[in-house]
Amino acid sequence: MAMIEFQDVQKYYGDFHALKDINLKIEAGETVVLIGPSGSGKSTLIRTVNGLERIQEGKLIVNGQDLADRKTDMNRIRKNVGMVFQHFNLYANKTVLENIMLAPRIVLHRPEDENKKVALQLLDQVGLRSQANKLPAQLSGGQQQRIAIARSLAMKPKCLLFDEPTSALDPEMIDDVLNVMKEIANDSDMTMLVVTHEMGFAREVANRVVFMDDGRILEDDSSEKFFNGEPTNERARQFLGKIITH
């Protein structure tokens, strides 16, 4: 069964038609990169997957449940679908360790000693154990983003969404974050949907590349086809030409 499936999804903000006729199927364990110019609807699309945005028409099935159905319990979906944001969104009033331990404690009722063990392991994984007792504001952007990834992983989700995770970072910090993401993609059976302009990452890690413009999906290829064969869509070819020479 597909982990995420969009069926004829439409999304409006008032009169603005933000997502048009979206059909997209992402299998469990796949890593899919979503690219496109700003305003093309990629952030909106990724935010619908864990219910931060509601869809108006169509079906959106995540982990077997339809998010368009008002009866679906979003909090249950989100247990299995983590999200990493452009601006990290770490809790400003909590230490790094507390950021990671809060949701497992409250939502999963994970016992305190196990919770701490998991959190420290994750901090090792992202290389930031020494920062455990600091506040987010005391860390660099790259460090904060790695903590945010650890926070999502602590829930042991089946699927992780990344909404431009490196766009707000200094160039030197980007690799640290991408390396953590590559490890997750390669070493686990996590389903990953990533909005990014890091074409190196897309080429190396993604199974598929989806190109969006003006609220529509214009191209959906395996990453070999997308990067080696030319994309069939003219607009996608143009876009790719621009960001690769860039």
Residues that bind another protein (CB under 8 A): 50, 52, 74-76, 78-79, 82-83, 85, 87-94, 102-103, 106-107, 148, 151-152, 155
Closest distance of CB 144 from another protein, Å: 11
Distances (CA, A) of 69 to 19, 56, 57, 108, 165: 18, 10, 10, 24, 29
Closest distance of CB 207 from another protein, Å: 24
Nearer to another protein, 79 or 208 (CB): 79
Which are the contacts of 107, defined by CB distance < 8 A and separation ≥ 6? 75, 79, 155
How far, in Å, CA of 42 to CA of 213, rounded?
A: 8
Nearer to another protein, 102 or 132 (CB): 102
CB 227 within 8 A of CB 219: no
Which are the contacts of 108, defined by CB distance < 8 A and separation ≥ 6? 79, 155
Closest distance of CB 43 from another protein, Å: 12
Distances (CA, A) of 47 to 20, 30, 141: 15, 18, 22
Q: Is 122 helix (H, G, I), strand (E, B) or coil?
A: helix
Q: What is the DSSP letter of 104?
A: H
Closest distance of CB 228 from another protein, Å: 35
Nearer to another protein, 83 or 181 (CB): 83
Nearer to another protein, 71 or 246 (CB): 71
Nearer to another protein, 28 or 102 (CB): 102
Q: What is the DSSP letter of 137?
A: G
How far, in Å, CA of 21 to CA of 1, rounded?
A: 21
Closest distance of CB 93 from another protein, Å: 5
Structure tokens at 22: 């979206």
Closest distance of CB 17 from another protein, Å: 23
Structure tokens at 216: 């529509």
Nearer to another protein, 6 or 85 (CB): 85
